[in-house]
Amino acid sequence: MKTIKTLKVAIHLLFFGLITVFFSQLLFWCAVYFFNDPLPPLLQNFKMIFNPVFFNWQTLIDPFTNALNFVLFIVAVYYLKKSMASFVNSLFYTASVIVNLKKAGNIFVFIGVSIILIQFLSGIYILNTTQNIVKMNSLFARSSLIIAAFDLKSIFLMIAGLFLLLFSASFMIARKLKQENNLTI
């Protein structure tokens, strides 16, 4: 029971830490976009990101996808946070726990797959852009691009998501068995 309470505290700290980081980043980018003149000169250079002359839509896909994945990560941690109340009360087989674990697992798998896909597509875009400038071995560049797209963060998120889906499915089976056991008694 002590480990479940420790896990609950860790998930709560993670959730509120992620919310704090999200809102601080949101305030920063709003300040850069709307109130650029009163900012120090070092921070005024961030306004260049919103200039379409320097950055076209292909280069902005990666940061916006990362921001979307960060929001989805917060949502997945929220679903885990909702499940913790039932875990503390030893109600492992409730429908809310099963649904929340399944939602969190699906979100983690989606984030992992989307990170790999976006890194691969961004790498292809950068490779095609730089190949016009620098002559390089195409086979070596493309194989290193494929290897670079699979980073440990995305693989870890997919594994964690698959474990949550496994726990959700096993809790669903255990819930059915518990209901059958209660009916026979």
Sketch the domain layout of the chain as residue ranges. 56-184
Q: Which long-range contacts (CB under 8 A, 24 or more apart) does 139-143 make?
A: none
Distance of CA 134 to the CA centre of its chain: 34
Q: pTM for this structure?
A: 0.80
Could you give the CA distance from residue 1 to residue 3 in angstroms, rounded to a whole number? 5
pLDDT tens digits, 172-184: 998 888 888 877 7
- Helix H segments across the chain? 2-34, 41-44, 57-88, 95-131, 138-149, 152-184
The pLDDT assigned to 32 comes to 75
Hey, is 48 helix, strand or coil? helix
